[in-house]
Chains A and B, each alone.
Chain A
Amino acid sequence: MIGKEGIKYSLRNLKKSKDRSFFTILSIFIGIATIFIFVSFGLGLFSYIDEISGGASADKVIIQAKGAAAPGLDTTFELTESDLRVINGVTGVYETAGSYFRVVKLSQKDEVRYSFIISYTPDNPLILESFDIGVEKGKDLTASDSGKVILGSNFREDGKIFSQGYEINDKIEIDDKDFRVSGFLESIGNPQDDSQTYINEEAFQDTYPDTTSYGMIIARVNKEQIDVVVERIEKALRKHKDQEEGKEDFYVQSYAELLEAYSGALAGIVGFIIIIGIISVIVAAINTANTMITAVLERYKEIGILKAIGAKNSEILDIFLFESSFLGLIAGALGILAGFIITYVAKVILIGMGWSFLAPLYNVWLFVGCLVFAVVTGAISGVAPAIRASRINTVDALRYE
């Protein structure tokens, strides 16, 4: 171990060649900050997916008509009530619920907005369960409620959708008809989902009798056999609709499968960016090694002096390893700090915009891991120069001018 004079000696050498130290630190810093930023965003997204997949959505299967647009907007293919009955009869399906989707005009004084209205059956609210949300304020609808709606959480806030937020029992104008606000849903964390309006199925059919195709059918199924049940539903619907395999106008997917696909894609993207971060740290490590080799050459004579006054090879090795590790430590600490500040500001902005599900997440291992990675990178890049320094011939070094 090097003592205080050794540490001072190392630090002053780093300070003396401050330009070189600065650029070495900068190169590691960029890599560590990149890794920190993307891992924290990745952690946030994975946690969101975990939260959804671990909740009430785990036993749900979604059946949608194929189409190019969002549910309910493309009427080329349809899912009808008879399809719902077929699905309901499949072994392993416990219950089903269809939801109509429609884009509606919402008005508040002179302001007009367009958003989805989604129907659900209050005594079997599978669509809300699949989002794992419930009514946060006010009352849920009943099957007989007409002229009432439940709003997404963004409607409560001033300036989010309309300049003035809504309260319970306020009137809201939908497609030029007045509805009463019965309640507000919990926030999902993305602005689109939090800006939807929910209405009971009967009221939807009364208001929009021309919408006959479900945007989505949700089935609650036997969780243990979910893949088999998905296949059974596909088979039953194919038969009912007289369609060949591979030419269906619908698709059936379990939430778990859907989330797995998201999760896989997400892991791919985050992993790819982290690999870029790691490559930049490796480049930084080469830069650090170069810095340390230059330092060894510059201090050739000094190394001879240190050996003459009693420094062992291992102590010379320690001095140079300390220097490269210290560069890594500083770069790591600054990289983490910068990464934290950037992601924190992004978090505040995202939450403000209603995209809280995209917000980064931190844990102690992220901080410790980044710091250790930076120090180890510095140390490893210093090994070869440090060995070289430790093996310098004392007499040659003392003669060196």
Chain B
Amino acid sequence: MSGKKEVIQLKKVAKHYHLGENIVRALDGIDILINEGEFVSIMGPSGSGKSTAMNLVGSLDAPTHGKIFLDKKDISKFSESDLAQLRGKKIGFIFQQFNLINNLTARENIALPMMFQGASESERLKKADELLKMVDLGDRGSHYPNQLSGGQQQRVAIARSLANDPEVILADEPTGNLDTKTGQIIVSFLENLHKKGKTIVMVTHDPALAQKYSDVVYWLRDGKVEKITKKRRK
């Protein structure tokens, strides 16, 4: 992968939590490198630190030690507002629980991230409609999340993650709340986005899923990178 642009890099990143008198080392000095256009999975059993890693990769949280680079810029010391602006522009999130806003329609949910980036209303709604069509939900724009199935909600979440045309899509257990067939559809959407050049970072506990689609898999255990597997895709 040499010669590719580095999008996200974690250098000796640690995240420690204080639990009473004890220190929990959720991550203990990990290095992760995500290049442009790669499909990267972060794998590991429960408690391995993969969710913490995802929060750091997605600039949702700040490390206790180490540095995080986004487009070669050290963001470890960025203010919360700068981080919000940055992730709104550069990173799209897909969550296991879908995390749509229940009081907004599918179209409004998709348009919302664009509002925070200052896009005009007409731009937002036009883009939202395009993205709805892209996830095959062109006729569901005015539906509220509770009027959609789990798979449909996750497709709305995918559309929302693409609203600001981010470089990186960060998916945290995107199939965790879906049946196998629906999960397959969701992963194929991610695969398509990857083929279109998007950088995908997926957190999963499913080794088969990770190995099938990923260029690079980071295997975490007890807050450390246990191994890294790379695959040349067919």
Binding site for B on A (CB under 8 A): 2-6, 8-9, 12-13, 16, 301-302, 305-315, 394-395, 398
Contacts and interface: CB of A to CB of B under 8 A. Distances in A.
> Which among A307, A309, A312, A394 has the greatest number of chain B C-beta atoms within 10 A?
A309
B55 A307 contact: no
B84 A313 contact: yes
Contacts of B160: 309
B115 A307 contact: no
> Which among A5, A8, A301, A398 has the greatest number of chain B C-beta atoms within 10 A?
A5
A310 B108 contact: no
A314 B116 CA distance: 11
Interface string B141-177: 0000000000000000000100110000000000000
A313 B95 contact: no
B63 interface: no
Interface string B25-67: 0000000000000000000000000000001001011000000
B188 interface: no
A311 B116 contact: yes
B180 interface: no
A307 B99 CA distance: 12
B124 A5 contact: yes
The A interface, classified by DSSP as helix, strand, loop or mixed, is helix
Contacts of B111: 5
A298 B201 CA distance: 31
B93 interface: yes
15 contacts: A3-B124, A5-B111, A5-B112, A9-B112, A12-B104, A305-B99, A305-B100, A307-B84, A308-B93, A309-B112, A310-B89, A310-B116, A312-B85, A313-B80, A313-B84
A72 to B, nearest CB: 73
A398 to B, nearest CB: 7
Interface residues of B, number: 30
B84 A311 contact: yes
B76 to A, nearest CB: 15
B153 to A, nearest CB: 13
Contacts of B101: 9, 302, 305-306
B116 A12 contact: no
Contacts of B84: 307, 310-313
A365 B39 CA distance: 63
Given A308-B87, A310-B164, A398-B60, A12 B93 contact: no
Given A310-B117, A313-B81, A5 B108 contact: yes
Contacts of B85: 310, 312
Contact of B108 (A8, A13, A301, A314): A8
Interface string B110-141: 01110111000100100000000000000000
A12 B101 CA distance: 11
A16 B104 CA distance: 12
Contacts of A312: 80-81, 84-85, 116
Contact of A310 (B55, B87, B104, B124): B87
Given A310-B116, A311-B84, A398-B60, A3 B103 contact: no
Contacts of B117: 310
